[in-house]
Structure 1
């Protein structure tokens, strides 16, 4: 990823989102831009126009934390956007050789696999920073059965969201989920600008999906930590599940996500889904046994 281009586009996109009224600035005459001008951001951040212009051109080398904080306040960044700005600055101040990190793992430790499988009543997944699902339990596989059935997706949630028409039905709020996935990938790109596999995935999504390309151009960021997802599942119908995502500190780039039912109807739907999953697995095992 081009760090300078990312910085330039991100700062400008945030500046364009804030009106003078939102920033508490007076307006005079006709304005050719709906957002803030560079000189207005510079004033709010307490830096010279020349210095802010340098920053918005993509040069964050040597910028202090106090300036980054002032810039984040001037642009009214939320916590996720502020962290992304710091990630971009960190990447700008790190050489490519030093920035190369161990790539996100493609395997899961047996102990983590046992933890996931030890929650039979809740769909649970382990994925890396590229949205590859590396491990799941039977209920998780049943919840995302259509993703696993699509060879184009390759058990990758981002590909499923943007390449599979089925995803638009499975996710009741598909657009929100899609925007969140794009924002999460941009966070990872800011942290790991030299991750070739991540860059290849983003390039593939941009090439094959017009929707992804438009959403990527918005430069919004997102972190999946907790929330609610609504599904329209082909077996159990509509259900709403809460999710919590937790990073694995000793495994580079891996996250565990667990879905839970917060209502009786959702709990009943998960029980039905678990029963269907067990029946399907038994039928598949019997079929394989008969073939042998």
Structure 2
């Protein structure tokens, strides 16, 4: 079955029949959630067309069909976007689409910006989540990324497979589940990317939590999040995580960690900056 089919089947199973005016039992109802014919009826399309979509025998669909399916399955805005990506795959013009880990070149403007941002931890990642640059305070918050092999220097890989990163998150399950949902959106935007497939394959093979969340087909497009850290030097820290586009290179994203103004974490961050500078 295709990724489109897996996604549709997962979302169909998540809709309670009674929530759309259908009986929860009877006829008999042998499957969880909605039947294919019920989705087709709610989406105002033929059962055959919907079935072929879910079985992977058709891999494209019109906007009107996708809107009908999205409404029938009560998809979120992020899930609607993801459905469109799967059914109408974006053309990949990015020259680094099959680039191995560590191959991204970071330009001088980005390095200058990192050097200027001394009061907040900053990471620079590529579209696959590989960390390609960082500032001194990011090293103080985490550790020296330069000591890691480039293929292991991936944000979501570290979240699951690097004990130092996994252990420092006090709200690890919340962060990890959202990260998996965000990664699924990234995978949809980069069909056929070898590096992305490598990261997903390793995580599926090595971590049961990742397998569970990946199998749930949740999709998120969030660019902000609050992380609760337990730092060995600074102690408990609540940091707001933001993903910012880099104007000088649209393939890069800056991950910036900030503390709520006036909070104990703001004081801890200043102390951590002084510790890193010393």
TM-score, normalised to structure 2, is 0.89
Q: CA deviation at 1:80?
A: 1.0
1:22 aligns with 2:15: no
Q: Mark the CA change 1:247 to 1:25 in structure 2 (over 3 Å): closer, same or farther.
A: farther
Contact persistence 1:153–1:163 (CA under 8 A): no
Work out the CA distance in 2 between the residues paired with 1:13 and 1:186: 14
Q: CA deviation at 1:252?
A: 4.8
Q: CA deviation at 1:189?
A: 1.6
Q: CA deviation at 1:265?
A: 0.3
Q: Structure 2: give runs of 5+ residues left out of the alignment.
A: 98-102
Q: CA deviation at 1:225?
A: 0.5
1:135 aligns with 2:133: yes
Work out the CA distance in 2 between the residues paired with 1:177 and 1:34: 28
1:275 match: 274
Q: CA deviation at 1:269?
A: 0.6
CA-atom RMSD in angstroms: 2.3
1:230 to 219, 228, 231: 228
Moved more, 146-155 or 50-59: 146-155
Q: CA deviation at 1:42?
A: 0.8
TM-score, normalised to structure 1, is 0.85
Q: CA deviation at 1:168?
A: 3.0
Q: Structure 1: give runs of 5+ residues left out of the alignment.
A: 280-292
Contact persistence 1:240–1:261 (CA under 8 A): yes
Work out the CA distance in 1 between the residues paired with 2:153 and 2:138: 12
Query: SS at the partner of 1:77?
Result: coil
| Residue correspondence of structure 1 range 244-255 to structure 2 within 5 A | 244-248=242-246, 251-255=249-253
The CA deviation string for residues 62-105 of structure 1, in whole angstroms up to 9 with x for no partner, is 411111111111111111111111111122xx7xxx64642257
